[in-house]
């Protein structure tokens, strides 16, 4: 295994991956953390280049540059991970202080008290901690929903553990001046591991970009853009899922809701006010919802709610509470209160029944509520089929 060749290959690969990620960033600049990862791999490329050209700068300056670049790379990867999952990163002055402190220690063990063993130990532990923290930061949301996050977490964790353990893996005499020949003779395995780890992480970053873009597309399809609740397609898909529980599945309550006289709001105050009314209704309705409940906008001012693990009586209570809450919280438009009411139909999707039949019955109940004067709840429950006994 020829170490200078590995270092040259690592430099080329780091540069290529930086360019590839930069090209991806130009296409999609909305991916959280991507810019930080590009900077990190750019610093990694510069650090590799500095190691290739070591000897052209004074020892202390060369060590300071290399240490600063490598620590900066680790810190930027960590910041990118936290940004990607939507968590705040530490103030940058803390990162700068850490890099300055470790670099100062490295220079001290180069010029004041030459001891490559100590320098190697401090550098390995510092980077190891950063990569372990990166793994902890990015492993969020569950591996089934975000597999690329957990791939990056695994790569970061393995590299971090290797960095933490390598001072003991290579614990032979490392005293003496630092030269490229001496560094590469310590262990070609270190260079090989770093080349593999950083490029696997770069590949994981590209997977994260694809994962994020796919998630955004799904969000646009599955969420109603105006109100943020499930779209018609996503709601019906969820209803179909819940209807496939088999004969042992309990009856599923369905609420079908239509805002009363909604056209009057659009005609009087404009469509922007109508949008505000829809968002206001959703905000009020969600105060009656549990985490496991599903709310969707079927179209216009018509909404539906699924209430799993809820009895018919409880579902009627939820519908009545929602109706009353909407009355008690009028919409504020141009300095005046505008009352909103809703007609709500309640039904049950029973075992073995198709979702279309249940939705049709909920629609029947909702229109009955409108015909009876609006602003009310009407239940039309599926008839219980009597059990037929053999003679």
> Which tens digit of pLDDT belongs to each residue from 82-97?
999 999 988 999 999 9
Q: Are 54 and 196 part of one and the same domain?
A: yes
Please indicate, yes or no, if residue 264 is contained in any of the structural domains. yes
Q: Residue 370 and residue 196: Cα distance in Å, rounded? A: 67
Which two three-digit tokens encode residue 159? 């590299």
Q: Are 204 and 331 part of one and the same domain?
A: no
Q: Are 239 and 353 part of one and the same domain?
A: yes
pLDDT of residue 179: 44
Q: What is the mean pLDDT of residues 362-373?
A: 94
What is the extent of the structural domain holding 46?
Answer: 3-220
Domain C-terminal end among 220, 249, 266: 220
Report in angstroms the alpha-carbon separations of 307 from 25, 142, 283.
42, 25, 17
Please indicate, yes or no, if residue 24 is contained in any of the structural domains. yes
Please indicate, yes or no, if residue 71 is contained in any of the structural domains. yes
pLDDT of residue 390: 42
Domain C-terminal end among 171, 189, 220: 220
Q: Are 64 and 140 part of one and the same domain?
A: yes
Q: How many domains does the chain have?
A: 2
Confidence of residue 118 (pLDDT cuts 50, 70, 90): confident
Tell me, rounded to whole angstroms, the distance of Cα 103 from its chain centroid.
34
Q: pLDDT tens digits for 166-216?
A: 877 766 544 444 444 455 555 677 888 888 999 899 999 999 999 999 888
- 3-class state of residue 96 by DSSP: helix
- 3-class state of residue 140 by DSSP: coil
Please indicate, yes or no, if residue 386 is contained in any of the structural domains. no
Q: Residue 191 and residue 239: Cα distance in Å, rounded? A: 54
Q: Are 140 and 267 part of one and the same domain?
A: no
Q: Residue 89 and residue 76: Cα distance in Å, rounded? A: 10
Please indicate, yes or no, if residue 390 is contained in any of the structural domains. no
Strands, E assignment, the chain: 252-259, 294-299, 302-306, 331-333, 336-338, 342-349, 377-379
Q: Which residues are registered as beta bridge partners of 302?
A: 258, 299
Q: Are 288 and 367 part of one and the same domain?
A: yes
The whole-model pTM stands at: 0.70
CATH number for 256: 3.30.70.270
Beta pairing class for 336-338 and 377-379: unpaired
Q: Residue 153 and residue 184: Cα distance in Å, rounded? A: 28
Q: Which residues are registered as beta bridge partners of 256?
A: 304, 345
């Amino acid at each position: 295994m020829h170490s200078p060749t590995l270092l040259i290959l690592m430099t080329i690969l780091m540069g290529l991956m930086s360019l590839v990620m930069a090209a991806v960033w130009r296409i999609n600049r909305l991916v959280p953390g991507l810019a930080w990862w590009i900077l990190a791999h750019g610093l990694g490329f510069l650090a590799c280049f500095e190691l290739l050209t070591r000897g052209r700068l004074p020892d202390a300056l060369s060590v300071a540059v290399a240490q600063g670049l490598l620590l900066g790379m680790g810190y930027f990867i960590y910041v990118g991970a936290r940004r990607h999952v939507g968590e705040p990163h530490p103030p940058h002055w803390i990162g700068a202080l850490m890099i300055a402190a470790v670099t100062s220690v490295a220079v001290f063990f180069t010029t004041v008290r030459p001891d490559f063993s100590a320098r190697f130990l401090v550098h390995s532990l510092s980077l190891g901690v950063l990569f372990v923290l990166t793994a902890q930061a990015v492993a969020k949301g569950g591996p089934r929903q975000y597999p690329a996050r957990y791939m990056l977490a695994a790569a970061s964790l393995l590299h971090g553990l290797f960095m933490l353990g390598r001072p003991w893996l290579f614990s032979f005499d490392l005293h003496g001046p630092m030269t490229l020949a001496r560094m590469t003779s310590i262990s070609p395995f270190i260079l090989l591991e770093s080349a593999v780890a950083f490029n696997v992480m770069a590949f994981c970053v590209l997977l994260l970009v694809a994962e994020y873009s796919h998630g955004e597309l799904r969000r646009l399809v599955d969420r109603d853009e105006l109100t943020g609740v499930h779209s018609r397609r996503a709601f019906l898909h969820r209803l179909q899922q819940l209807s496939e529980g088999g004969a042992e599945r309990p009856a599923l309550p369905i609420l079908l809701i239509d805002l009363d006289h909604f056209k009057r709001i659009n005609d009087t105050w404009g469509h922007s006010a109508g949008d505000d009314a829809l968002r206001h209704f959703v905000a009020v309705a969600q105060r009656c919802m549990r985490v496991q409940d599903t709310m969707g906008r079927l179209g216009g001012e018509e909404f539906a709610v699924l209430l799993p693990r809820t009895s018919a009586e409880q579902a009627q209570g939820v519908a009545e509470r929602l109706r009353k809450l909407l009355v008690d919280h009028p919409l504020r438009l141009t300095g005046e209160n505008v009352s909103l009411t809703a007609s709500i139909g309640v039904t049950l999707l029973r075992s073995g029944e198709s979702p279309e039949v249940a939705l049709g019955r909920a629609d029947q109940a909702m229109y009955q509520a409108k015909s009876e004067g609006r602003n009310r709840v009407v239940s039309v429950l599926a008839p219980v089929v009597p059990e037929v006994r053999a003679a």
